[in-house]
Chains A and B, each alone.
Chain A
Protein backbone atom coordinates (compact mmCIF):
# COMPACT_ATOMS: atom_id res chain seq x y z
CA UNK A 1 0.00 0.00 0.00
CA UNK A 2 1.50 3.29 -1.04
CA UNK A 3 0.72 6.73 0.29
CA UNK A 4 -1.78 8.37 -2.00
CA UNK A 5 -1.03 11.98 -1.15
CA UNK A 6 0.86 13.85 -3.81
CA UNK A 7 1.22 17.04 -1.81
CA UNK A 8 2.85 18.15 1.43
CA UNK A 9 1.13 20.26 4.10
CA UNK A 10 0.70 23.75 2.55
CA UNK A 11 3.40 25.44 4.67
CA UNK A 12 5.98 23.13 3.04
CA UNK A 13 4.85 23.71 -0.55
CA UNK A 14 8.35 24.99 -1.39
CA UNK A 15 9.66 21.42 -0.90
CA UNK A 16 7.19 19.80 -3.34
CA UNK A 17 9.71 19.29 -6.14
CA UNK A 18 12.14 17.53 -3.79
CA UNK A 19 9.36 15.44 -2.25
CA UNK A 20 8.42 14.22 -5.72
CA UNK A 21 11.90 12.68 -5.92
CA UNK A 22 12.76 11.70 -2.35
CA UNK A 23 9.55 11.13 -0.34
CA UNK A 24 9.48 7.38 -0.98
CA UNK A 25 7.63 5.31 1.63
CA UNK A 26 10.17 2.56 2.38
CA UNK A 27 13.85 2.41 3.30
CA UNK A 28 14.49 -0.03 0.44
CA UNK A 29 13.11 2.43 -2.12
CA UNK A 30 14.98 5.37 -0.58
CA UNK A 31 18.23 3.39 -0.43
CA UNK A 32 17.97 2.36 -4.08
CA UNK A 33 17.56 6.04 -5.00
CA UNK A 34 20.41 7.14 -2.72
CA UNK A 35 22.92 4.67 -4.16
CA UNK A 36 22.38 6.20 -7.63
CA UNK A 37 22.05 9.90 -6.77
CA UNK A 38 24.60 12.54 -7.71
CA UNK A 39 26.49 15.04 -5.60
CA UNK A 40 24.19 17.76 -6.95
CA UNK A 41 21.09 15.72 -5.99
CA UNK A 42 22.32 15.31 -2.40
CA UNK A 43 23.30 18.96 -2.12
CA UNK A 44 19.93 20.18 -3.41
CA UNK A 45 18.11 18.03 -0.84
CA UNK A 46 20.42 19.13 1.97
CA UNK A 47 20.32 22.83 1.16
CA UNK A 48 16.54 22.92 0.95
CA UNK A 49 15.66 20.68 3.93
CA UNK A 50 18.35 21.49 6.53
CA UNK A 51 17.02 25.04 7.19
CA UNK A 52 13.44 23.68 7.43
CA UNK A 53 14.23 20.62 9.55
CA UNK A 54 13.13 22.12 12.87
CA UNK A 55 9.86 23.34 11.40
CA UNK A 56 9.27 19.95 9.76
CA UNK A 57 9.84 18.03 13.00
CA UNK A 58 7.54 20.36 14.96
CA UNK A 59 4.81 19.97 12.33
CA UNK A 60 5.25 16.19 12.26
CA UNK A 61 5.03 15.93 16.05
CA UNK A 62 1.57 17.53 15.97
CA UNK A 63 0.24 14.14 14.78
CA UNK A 64 0.50 10.68 16.36
CA UNK A 65 3.24 8.67 14.69
CA UNK A 66 0.92 5.73 14.04
CA UNK A 67 -1.85 7.78 12.41
CA UNK A 68 -0.53 10.60 10.26
CA UNK A 69 -2.69 12.33 7.64
CA UNK A 70 -1.35 11.54 4.14
CA UNK A 71 0.29 14.94 3.61
CA UNK A 72 2.21 14.53 6.87
CA UNK A 73 3.21 10.98 6.00
CA UNK A 74 4.72 12.39 2.85
CA UNK A 75 6.54 15.04 4.88
CA UNK A 76 7.80 12.29 7.23
CA UNK A 77 9.13 10.25 4.32
CA UNK A 78 10.97 13.35 3.04
CA UNK A 79 12.46 13.87 6.53
CA UNK A 80 13.57 10.22 6.67
CA UNK A 81 15.14 10.51 3.20
CA UNK A 82 17.01 13.58 4.44
CA UNK A 83 18.21 11.78 7.60
CA UNK A 84 19.48 8.87 5.50
CA UNK A 85 21.08 11.01 2.77
CA UNK A 86 22.76 13.61 4.99
CA UNK A 87 26.00 11.63 5.56
CA UNK A 88 26.63 11.78 1.81
CA UNK A 89 26.86 15.59 2.09
CA UNK A 90 28.34 16.00 5.56
CA UNK A 91 30.81 13.09 5.46
CA UNK A 92 31.27 11.61 1.98
CA UNK A 93 31.85 14.75 -0.15
CA UNK A 94 28.78 14.00 -2.28
CA UNK A 95 29.76 10.42 -3.16
CA UNK A 96 26.76 8.09 -3.48
CA UNK A 97 28.66 5.19 -1.86
CA UNK A 98 30.20 4.97 1.57
CA UNK A 99 33.92 5.37 0.75
CA UNK A 100 35.94 2.14 1.07
CA UNK A 101 32.98 -0.04 1.94
CA UNK A 102 31.26 -3.32 1.22
CA UNK A 103 28.93 -3.69 -1.77
CA UNK A 104 25.71 -2.11 -0.46
CA UNK A 105 23.58 -4.21 -2.84
CA UNK A 106 24.59 -7.25 -0.76
CA UNK A 107 23.16 -5.73 2.46
CA UNK A 108 19.58 -6.73 3.30
CA UNK A 109 17.49 -4.61 5.67
CA UNK A 110 14.95 -6.79 7.48
CA UNK A 111 12.78 -3.71 8.03
CA UNK A 112 13.37 -2.39 4.50
CA UNK A 113 9.76 -2.59 3.32
CA UNK A 114 8.16 -1.08 6.43
CA UNK A 115 6.20 2.13 6.02
CA UNK A 116 6.28 4.56 8.96
CA UNK A 117 3.57 7.08 9.69
CA UNK A 118 0.61 4.71 9.97
CA UNK A 119 -0.43 1.88 12.22
Chain B
Protein backbone atom coordinates (compact mmCIF):
# COMPACT_ATOMS: atom_id res chain seq x y z
CA UNK B 1 0.00 0.00 0.00
CA UNK B 2 1.43 3.32 -1.05
CA UNK B 3 2.47 5.65 1.83
CA UNK B 4 0.57 8.90 1.24
CA UNK B 5 0.87 12.33 2.87
CA UNK B 6 -1.00 13.57 5.93
CA UNK B 7 0.03 17.15 6.73
CA UNK B 8 -2.90 18.81 8.53
CA UNK B 9 -2.22 19.17 12.27
CA UNK B 10 -5.74 18.27 13.33
CA UNK B 11 -5.87 15.28 11.01
CA UNK B 12 -2.48 14.12 12.34
CA UNK B 13 -3.74 14.16 15.93
CA UNK B 14 -7.04 12.56 14.96
CA UNK B 15 -5.07 9.69 13.51
CA UNK B 16 -2.40 9.35 16.20
CA UNK B 17 -4.29 10.54 19.27
CA UNK B 18 -3.09 13.03 21.85
CA UNK B 19 -2.85 10.84 24.93
CA UNK B 20 0.14 9.29 26.67
CA UNK B 21 2.09 6.51 24.91
CA UNK B 22 1.94 3.10 26.64
CA UNK B 23 5.44 1.70 27.27
CA UNK B 24 4.54 -1.98 27.39
CA UNK B 25 5.62 -2.48 23.77
CA UNK B 26 9.15 -1.33 24.59
CA UNK B 27 9.57 -4.01 27.27
CA UNK B 28 7.71 -7.07 25.99
CA UNK B 29 9.72 -9.93 24.46
CA UNK B 30 6.54 -11.09 22.73
CA UNK B 31 6.11 -7.69 21.08
CA UNK B 32 9.76 -7.81 20.02
CA UNK B 33 9.22 -11.16 18.30
CA UNK B 34 6.17 -9.72 16.52
CA UNK B 35 8.28 -6.78 15.30
CA UNK B 36 10.98 -9.13 14.01
CA UNK B 37 8.39 -11.23 12.19
CA UNK B 38 6.01 -8.57 10.87
CA UNK B 39 8.29 -5.55 10.42
CA UNK B 40 11.96 -6.47 10.02
CA UNK B 41 11.23 -9.57 7.94
CA UNK B 42 8.73 -7.72 5.72
CA UNK B 43 9.68 -4.04 5.39
CA UNK B 44 12.29 -2.59 3.07
CA UNK B 45 15.44 -1.97 5.14
CA UNK B 46 18.07 0.58 4.16
CA UNK B 47 21.46 -1.13 4.32
CA UNK B 48 23.87 1.15 2.50
CA UNK B 49 24.76 3.65 -0.18
CA UNK B 50 25.81 2.93 -3.76
CA UNK B 51 29.01 4.93 -3.12
CA UNK B 52 30.05 2.33 -0.52
CA UNK B 53 30.39 -0.23 -3.32
CA UNK B 54 31.32 2.10 -6.14
CA UNK B 55 33.35 -0.21 -8.41
CA UNK B 56 32.44 -3.57 -10.00
CA UNK B 57 33.45 -6.31 -7.55
CA UNK B 58 33.11 -4.06 -4.48
CA UNK B 59 31.05 -5.57 -1.70
CA UNK B 60 29.66 -4.67 1.68
CA UNK B 61 28.67 -7.32 4.19
CA UNK B 62 25.82 -6.04 6.36
CA UNK B 63 25.14 -8.12 9.45
CA UNK B 64 21.40 -8.48 10.14
CA UNK B 65 21.17 -9.92 13.64
CA UNK B 66 17.42 -9.32 13.58
CA UNK B 67 17.06 -12.02 10.92
CA UNK B 68 20.01 -14.17 11.97
CA UNK B 69 21.71 -13.61 8.64
CA UNK B 70 23.96 -11.17 6.91
CA UNK B 71 23.68 -9.65 3.46
CA UNK B 72 26.33 -9.56 0.77
CA UNK B 73 25.71 -6.35 -1.19
CA UNK B 74 27.88 -6.59 -4.28
CA UNK B 75 28.32 -4.72 -7.54
CA UNK B 76 28.60 -7.14 -10.45
CA UNK B 77 30.73 -6.81 -13.56
CA UNK B 78 27.60 -5.41 -15.27
CA UNK B 79 27.51 -2.58 -12.69
CA UNK B 80 24.31 -3.89 -11.04
CA UNK B 81 24.04 -3.97 -7.26
CA UNK B 82 22.74 -7.33 -5.99
CA UNK B 83 22.06 -8.72 -2.51
CA UNK B 84 22.58 -12.28 -1.32
CA UNK B 85 22.53 -14.10 1.98
CA UNK B 86 26.11 -14.48 3.17
CA UNK B 87 25.65 -18.21 3.29
CA UNK B 88 27.46 -21.03 1.51
CA UNK B 89 25.02 -23.40 -0.18
CA UNK B 90 27.29 -26.33 0.67
CA UNK B 91 26.97 -26.52 4.47
CA UNK B 92 25.90 -23.03 5.58
CA UNK B 93 29.14 -21.30 6.51
CA UNK B 94 29.48 -17.56 5.90
CA UNK B 95 31.02 -17.17 2.44
CA UNK B 96 32.73 -13.88 3.28
CA UNK B 97 34.22 -13.60 6.79
CA UNK B 98 32.99 -10.53 8.68
CA UNK B 99 35.10 -8.11 10.65
CA UNK B 100 32.24 -6.22 12.31
CA UNK B 101 28.65 -5.11 11.82
CA UNK B 102 29.65 -3.75 8.40
CA UNK B 103 32.57 -5.21 6.44
CA UNK B 104 33.90 -4.05 3.08
CA UNK B 105 36.04 -5.60 0.37
CA UNK B 106 36.51 -6.30 -3.32
CA UNK B 107 35.96 -9.65 -5.02
CA UNK B 108 39.02 -10.55 -7.10
CA UNK B 109 38.03 -11.87 -10.51
CA UNK B 110 34.38 -11.44 -9.49
CA UNK B 111 34.69 -14.55 -7.32
CA UNK B 112 33.55 -14.98 -3.72
CA UNK B 113 35.18 -18.07 -2.27
CA UNK B 114 33.97 -19.80 0.88
CA UNK B 115 36.91 -20.31 3.22
CA UNK B 116 35.50 -23.59 4.55
CA UNK B 117 35.79 -25.90 1.49
CA UNK B 118 36.59 -23.50 -1.32
CA UNK B 119 33.26 -23.26 -3.14
CA UNK B 120 33.47 -20.33 -5.55
CA UNK B 121 30.50 -18.09 -6.33
CA UNK B 122 30.24 -15.40 -8.99
CA UNK B 123 29.40 -11.87 -7.85
CA UNK B 124 26.16 -12.26 -9.85
CA UNK B 125 25.24 -15.28 -7.71
CA UNK B 126 25.92 -18.55 -9.61
CA UNK B 127 28.12 -21.30 -8.17
CA UNK B 128 31.17 -21.24 -10.46
CA UNK B 129 33.14 -24.23 -9.18
CA UNK B 130 33.67 -26.50 -6.23
CA UNK B 131 36.73 -28.59 -5.41
CA UNK B 132 36.54 -32.37 -5.98
CA UNK B 133 33.08 -32.13 -7.52
CA UNK B 134 33.30 -35.72 -8.87
CA UNK B 135 33.54 -37.14 -5.34
CA UNK B 136 30.00 -36.17 -4.34
CA UNK B 137 28.02 -39.43 -4.52
CA UNK B 138 25.12 -37.81 -6.33
CA UNK B 139 25.51 -35.39 -9.25
CA UNK B 140 25.79 -31.71 -8.29
CA UNK B 141 23.25 -29.40 -9.97
CA UNK B 142 25.20 -26.17 -9.85
CA UNK B 143 22.25 -24.20 -11.27
CA UNK B 144 20.38 -24.72 -7.96
CA UNK B 145 23.37 -23.96 -5.73
CA UNK B 146 24.03 -20.28 -6.40
CA UNK B 147 24.07 -17.75 -3.56
CA UNK B 148 20.57 -17.31 -2.02
CA UNK B 149 19.25 -13.98 -3.33
CA UNK B 150 17.67 -11.23 -1.24
CA UNK B 151 15.25 -8.71 -2.74
CA UNK B 152 17.25 -5.54 -3.38
CA UNK B 153 16.18 -2.15 -4.68
CA UNK B 154 17.71 1.31 -4.87
CA UNK B 155 16.16 4.70 -4.12
CA UNK B 156 18.20 7.89 -4.56
CA UNK B 157 21.41 5.89 -4.20
CA UNK B 158 20.31 4.19 -0.96
CA UNK B 159 20.44 0.39 -1.13
CA UNK B 160 17.47 -1.40 0.44
CA UNK B 161 16.89 -5.11 1.01
CA UNK B 162 13.70 -6.98 1.82
CA UNK B 163 13.84 -10.32 3.63
CA UNK B 164 10.36 -11.50 2.62
CA UNK B 165 10.06 -14.31 0.07
CA UNK B 166 7.73 -11.98 -1.86
CA UNK B 167 7.64 -8.35 -0.62
CA UNK B 168 4.16 -6.93 -0.01
CA UNK B 169 5.09 -3.61 -1.66
CA UNK B 170 7.62 -2.36 -4.13
CA UNK B 171 10.22 -0.04 -2.59
CA UNK B 172 8.61 2.90 -4.41
CA UNK B 173 5.20 2.14 -2.84
CA UNK B 174 6.74 1.47 0.57
CA UNK B 175 8.39 4.92 0.56
CA UNK B 176 5.46 6.48 -1.30
CA UNK B 177 5.16 10.26 -0.87
CA UNK B 178 8.08 10.22 1.58
CA UNK B 179 10.27 9.08 -1.30
CA UNK B 180 8.99 11.87 -3.51
CA UNK B 181 9.44 14.48 -0.76
CA UNK B 182 13.18 13.68 -0.56
CA UNK B 183 13.83 12.79 -4.21
CA UNK B 184 16.26 15.01 -6.06
CA UNK B 185 18.43 16.02 -3.12
CA UNK B 186 22.07 15.75 -4.31
CA UNK B 187 22.88 12.80 -2.04
CA UNK B 188 25.63 11.56 -4.35
CA UNK B 189 27.65 14.77 -3.88
CA UNK B 190 28.04 14.11 -0.17
CA UNK B 191 30.06 10.93 -0.57
CA UNK B 192 32.57 11.47 2.26
CA UNK B 193 31.33 9.24 5.07
CA UNK B 194 32.06 9.36 8.82
CA UNK B 195 30.30 6.61 10.76
CA UNK B 196 30.15 6.05 14.52
CA UNK B 197 28.46 3.10 16.18
CA UNK B 198 27.78 1.47 19.52
CA UNK B 199 25.81 -1.46 20.89
CA UNK B 200 23.30 -0.13 23.42
CA UNK B 201 21.56 -2.06 26.16
CA UNK B 202 18.07 -0.85 25.28
CA UNK B 203 15.09 -1.67 23.10
CA UNK B 204 15.51 -0.38 19.54
CA UNK B 205 12.45 1.86 19.87
CA UNK B 206 13.93 3.68 22.89
CA UNK B 207 16.94 4.62 20.77
CA UNK B 208 14.81 5.49 17.71
CA UNK B 209 12.56 7.72 19.82
CA UNK B 210 15.49 9.56 21.42
CA UNK B 211 16.67 10.67 17.95
CA UNK B 212 13.15 11.38 16.61
CA UNK B 213 12.45 14.73 18.26
CA UNK B 214 13.97 18.20 18.62
CA UNK B 215 12.59 18.87 22.12
CA UNK B 216 15.85 17.63 23.72
CA UNK B 217 18.24 19.94 21.88
CA UNK B 218 18.26 22.92 24.22
CA UNK B 219 18.92 20.80 27.29
CA UNK B 220 21.02 17.82 26.31
CA UNK B 221 23.16 19.67 23.75
CA UNK B 222 23.80 22.77 25.87
CA UNK B 223 27.35 21.40 26.39
CA UNK B 224 28.45 20.78 22.80
CA UNK B 225 26.07 22.97 20.75
CA UNK B 226 25.54 25.97 23.05
CA UNK B 227 24.97 28.28 20.07
CA UNK B 228 22.00 26.29 18.80
CA UNK B 229 20.76 25.34 22.26
CA UNK B 230 20.57 28.97 23.40
CA UNK B 231 18.62 30.54 20.51
CA UNK B 232 15.09 30.24 19.20
CA UNK B 233 14.44 27.09 17.19
CA UNK B 234 11.33 25.90 15.44
CA UNK B 235 10.36 22.39 14.40
CA UNK B 236 7.40 22.54 12.02
CA UNK B 237 5.98 21.40 8.65
CA UNK B 238 5.09 17.98 10.08
CA UNK B 239 4.01 15.38 7.57
CA UNK B 240 3.14 11.71 7.99
CA UNK B 241 3.54 9.13 5.23
CA UNK B 242 2.42 5.76 6.63
CA UNK B 243 5.32 4.47 8.75
CA UNK B 244 7.48 7.46 7.77
CA UNK B 245 7.28 11.05 8.96
CA UNK B 246 9.13 14.32 8.53
CA UNK B 247 9.46 17.88 9.79
CA UNK B 248 11.44 21.02 9.07
CA UNK B 249 13.90 22.42 11.60
CA UNK B 250 14.49 26.17 11.50
CA UNK B 251 16.61 28.53 13.58
CA UNK B 252 14.92 31.97 13.62
CA UNK B 253 17.47 33.10 16.19
CA UNK B 254 20.50 32.07 14.13
CA UNK B 255 21.92 35.59 14.03
CA UNK B 256 22.17 35.61 17.81
CA UNK B 257 24.30 32.46 17.83
CA UNK B 258 27.76 33.21 19.17
CA UNK B 259 30.21 30.70 17.72
CA UNK B 260 33.38 29.96 19.65
CA UNK B 261 36.55 31.47 18.09
CA UNK B 262 37.64 28.24 16.42
CA UNK B 263 34.08 27.39 15.30
CA UNK B 264 33.86 30.88 13.79
CA UNK B 265 37.14 30.29 11.94
CA UNK B 266 36.64 26.70 10.75
CA UNK B 267 32.85 26.42 10.49
CA UNK B 268 32.83 29.96 9.11
CA UNK B 269 35.24 29.00 6.31
CA UNK B 270 32.84 26.26 5.23
CA UNK B 271 29.75 28.48 5.42
CA UNK B 272 31.50 31.12 3.30
CA UNK B 273 32.76 28.71 0.65
CA UNK B 274 30.90 28.25 -2.62
CA UNK B 275 31.18 24.48 -2.23
CA UNK B 276 29.99 24.03 1.37
CA UNK B 277 28.01 27.26 1.86
CA UNK B 278 24.21 27.68 1.70
CA UNK B 279 22.45 26.12 -1.29
CA UNK B 280 18.79 26.30 -0.36
CA UNK B 281 18.03 26.25 -4.09
CA UNK B 282 19.18 22.62 -4.27
CA UNK B 283 16.55 21.32 -1.83
CA UNK B 284 13.64 19.34 -3.28
CA UNK B 285 10.62 21.69 -3.76
CA UNK B 286 8.46 20.33 -0.90
CA UNK B 287 11.30 20.75 1.63
CA UNK B 288 11.55 24.24 3.16
CA UNK B 289 8.35 25.11 1.22
CA UNK B 290 8.35 28.76 2.34
CA UNK B 291 11.98 29.19 1.20
CA UNK B 292 13.09 30.37 4.63
CA UNK B 293 16.73 31.41 4.97
CA UNK B 294 16.87 30.06 8.54
CA UNK B 295 16.31 26.47 7.36
CA UNK B 296 18.64 24.21 9.31
CA UNK B 297 17.61 20.70 8.31
CA UNK B 298 14.78 18.47 7.27
CA UNK B 299 14.38 15.89 10.00
CA UNK B 300 12.59 12.64 9.27
CA UNK B 301 11.90 9.07 10.31
CA UNK B 302 12.19 6.60 7.45
CA UNK B 303 10.44 3.60 8.89
CA UNK B 304 11.08 1.27 10.40
CA UNK B 305 14.56 2.02 11.75
CA UNK B 306 16.20 5.06 10.14
CA UNK B 307 16.26 8.76 11.06
CA UNK B 308 17.37 10.89 8.10
CA UNK B 309 18.40 14.57 8.21
CA UNK B 310 19.12 16.74 5.17
CA UNK B 311 21.02 20.00 5.38
CA UNK B 312 21.55 22.77 2.87
CA UNK B 313 24.54 24.72 4.16
CA UNK B 314 22.50 27.17 6.25
CA UNK B 315 23.45 26.95 9.95
CA UNK B 316 25.22 23.71 9.03
CA UNK B 317 28.13 23.16 6.65
CA UNK B 318 27.24 22.17 3.18
CA UNK B 319 24.97 19.98 1.16
CA UNK B 320 25.57 17.41 3.85
CA UNK B 321 23.23 14.89 5.37
CA UNK B 322 23.28 12.39 8.19
CA UNK B 323 21.30 9.43 9.40
CA UNK B 324 20.90 7.24 12.43
CA UNK B 325 19.99 3.58 12.22
CA UNK B 326 18.75 1.30 14.98
CA UNK B 327 19.29 -2.42 14.38
CA UNK B 328 17.61 -4.72 16.89
CA UNK B 329 19.87 -7.43 18.34
CA UNK B 330 17.35 -8.62 20.94
CA UNK B 331 14.49 -7.14 23.00
CA UNK B 332 16.98 -5.13 25.07
CA UNK B 333 19.97 -4.77 22.73
CA UNK B 334 20.38 -2.44 19.76
CA UNK B 335 23.13 -1.54 17.33
CA UNK B 336 23.10 2.23 16.79
CA UNK B 337 24.98 3.65 13.80
CA UNK B 338 25.24 7.40 13.19
CA UNK B 339 26.63 8.42 9.81
CA UNK B 340 27.57 11.89 8.57
CA UNK B 341 27.99 12.45 4.84
CA UNK B 342 29.85 15.51 3.59
CA UNK B 343 31.16 16.58 0.23
CA UNK B 344 34.68 15.18 0.05
CA UNK B 345 37.32 17.68 1.23
CA UNK B 346 39.43 18.93 -1.68
CA UNK B 347 42.05 20.69 0.43
CA UNK B 348 43.66 20.22 3.83
CA UNK B 349 41.91 23.28 5.25
CA UNK B 350 38.53 21.86 4.16
CA UNK B 351 39.45 18.56 5.79
CA UNK B 352 40.39 20.24 9.08
CA UNK B 353 37.16 22.29 9.09
CA UNK B 354 35.00 19.24 8.30
CA UNK B 355 36.73 17.19 11.01
CA UNK B 356 35.99 20.00 13.48
CA UNK B 357 32.31 19.97 12.47
CA UNK B 358 32.24 16.18 12.65
CA UNK B 359 33.86 16.22 16.10
CA UNK B 360 31.09 18.49 17.43
CA UNK B 361 28.56 16.15 15.87
CA UNK B 362 30.20 13.06 17.36
CA UNK B 363 30.33 14.73 20.77
CA UNK B 364 26.64 15.69 20.51
CA UNK B 365 25.89 12.02 19.75
CA UNK B 366 27.80 11.06 22.91
CA UNK B 367 25.30 13.32 24.68
CA UNK B 368 22.32 11.74 22.90
CA UNK B 369 23.38 8.16 23.57
CA UNK B 370 23.83 8.93 27.28
CA UNK B 371 20.04 8.84 27.72
CA UNK B 372 19.05 5.59 26.06
CA UNK B 373 20.23 2.92 28.49
CA UNK B 374 19.08 5.07 31.41
CA UNK B 375 15.66 5.56 29.80
CA UNK B 376 15.32 1.83 29.21
CA UNK B 377 16.23 1.07 32.84
CA UNK B 378 13.69 3.66 33.94
CA UNK B 379 10.97 2.05 31.85
CA UNK B 380 11.91 -1.40 33.17
CA UNK B 381 11.53 -0.20 36.76
CA UNK B 382 7.77 -0.53 36.32
CA UNK B 383 7.07 2.87 37.86
CA UNK B 384 5.65 4.32 34.64
CA UNK B 385 2.80 2.85 32.63
CA UNK B 386 3.07 5.38 29.82
CA UNK B 387 5.05 8.44 28.73
CA UNK B 388 3.94 11.94 27.72
CA UNK B 389 4.68 13.40 24.29
CA UNK B 390 4.64 17.10 23.35
CA UNK B 391 4.11 18.48 19.88
CA UNK B 392 7.74 18.16 18.73
CA UNK B 393 7.59 14.50 19.73
CA UNK B 394 4.81 13.71 17.27
CA UNK B 395 7.05 11.62 14.99
CA UNK B 396 7.46 9.23 17.96
CA UNK B 397 3.67 8.86 18.02
CA UNK B 398 3.70 8.04 14.33
CA UNK B 399 6.44 5.39 14.60
CA UNK B 400 4.61 3.64 17.43
CA UNK B 401 1.29 3.88 15.59
CA UNK B 402 2.86 2.22 12.54
CA UNK B 403 4.58 -0.46 14.63
CA UNK B 404 1.34 -1.26 16.43
CA UNK B 405 -0.58 -1.37 13.16
CA UNK B 406 1.98 -3.76 11.64
CA UNK B 407 2.13 -6.09 14.63
CA UNK B 408 -1.39 -6.05 16.16
CA UNK B 409 -3.48 -6.13 13.02
CA UNK B 410 -2.28 -9.63 12.27
Q: Tell me the bound Cα distance from A7 to B369 in angstroms.
A: 39
B262 touches A53 (CB 8 A): yes
Q: Which residue of B lies closest to A53 (CB)?
A: B265
Is there a chain B Cβ closer than 8 Å to A108's Cβ?
yes
Is there a chain B Cβ closer than 8 Å to A17's Cβ?
no
A87 touches B366 (CB 8 A): no
Is there a chain A Cβ closer than 8 Å to B359's Cβ?
yes
A111 touches B193 (CB 8 A): yes
B348 touches A101 (CB 8 A): no
Is there a chain B Cβ closer than 8 Å to A29's Cβ?
no
A29: min CB distance to chain B, Å: 14
**B226 / chain A contacts, CB cutoff of 8 Å:** 91
Q: Which of A65, A83, A91 has the most CB of B within 10 A?
A: A83
Is there a chain A Cβ closer than 8 Å to B69's Cβ?
no
CB-contacts of A44-62 with B (<8 A): 50, 53-54, 57-58, 60-61
Given contacts A83-B356, A110-B195, are A102 and B369 in contact (CB under 8 A)?
Answer: yes
Given contacts A83-B266, A98-B224, are A65 and B198 in contact (CB under 8 A)?
Answer: no
Is there a chain A Cβ closer than 8 Å to B156's Cβ?
no
B196 touches A110 (CB 8 A): yes
CB-contacts of A72-119 with B (<8 A): 72, 76, 79-80, 82-84, 86-87, 90-92, 98-102, 104, 106-111, 116-117
Q: Tell me the bound Cα distance from A114 to B199 in angstroms.
A: 22
Is there a chain B Cβ closer than 8 Å to A63's Cβ?
yes
Given contacts A53-B265, A98-B363, are A65 and B345 in contact (CB under 8 A)?
Answer: yes
Is there a chain A Cβ closer than 8 Å to B273's Cβ?
no
Q: Which residue of B lies closest to A72 (CB)?
A: B348
Chain A-chain B contacts (Cβ-Cβ < 8 Å), number: 111
Q: Tell me the bound Cα distance from A90 to B353 in angstroms.
A: 16
Is there a chain A Cβ closer than 8 Å to B362's Cβ?
yes
- Set B261, B347, B370: member contacting A101, Cβ < 8 A: B370
Is there a chain A Cβ closer than 8 Å to B24's Cβ?
no
**B197 / chain A contacts, CB cutoff of 8 Å:** 107-108, 110
B345: min CB distance to chain A, Å: 7
B352 touches A102 (CB 8 A): no
**B356 / chain A contacts, CB cutoff of 8 Å:** 83-84, 86
A73: min CB distance to chain B, Å: 10
CB-contacts of B259-295 with A (<8 A): 260-263, 265-266
**B129 / chain A contacts, CB cutoff of 8 Å:** none
Q: Tell me the bound Cα distance from A108 to B352 in angstroms.
A: 20
**A82 / chain B contacts, CB cutoff of 8 Å:** 352
A87 touches B224 (CB 8 A): yes
B195 touches A76 (CB 8 A): no
Q: Tell me the bound Cα distance from A91 to B228 in angstroms.
A: 13
B51: min CB distance to chain A, Å: 14
Q: Which residue of A lies closest to B339 (CB)?
A: A110
**A84 / chain B contacts, CB cutoff of 8 Å:** 355-356, 359
B370 touches A100 (CB 8 A): yes
B102: min CB distance to chain A, Å: 7
Q: Which residue of A lies closest to B219 (CB)?
A: A100
Given contacts A57-B348, A110-B102, are A50 and B196 in contact (CB under 8 A)?
Answer: no
Is there a chain A Cβ closer than 8 Å to B253's Cβ?
no
Q: Tell me the bound Cα distance from A83 to B346 in angstroms.
A: 17
A74: min CB distance to chain B, Å: 12
26 pairs of residues in contact across A and B, judged by CB atoms under 8 Å: A50-B261, A57-B349, A57-B352, A60-B349, A61-B349, A63-B348, A65-B348, A76-B351, A79-B348, A79-B352, A80-B352, A83-B262, A83-B353, A86-B359, A90-B260, A98-B224, A98-B363, A98-B366, A100-B223, A101-B370, A102-B370, A106-B199, A107-B362, A108-B196, A109-B194, A110-B193
In order of increasing CB-CB distance, the 5 nearest A-B pairs are A60-B348, A83-B356, A90-B260, A57-B349, A102-B369
Q: Beyond the given A84-B356, A102-B366, please list 7 additional residue pairs across the A-B interface where CB-CB is below 8 A.
A: A68-B348, A80-B351, A98-B363, A108-B198, A109-B194, A109-B362, A110-B194
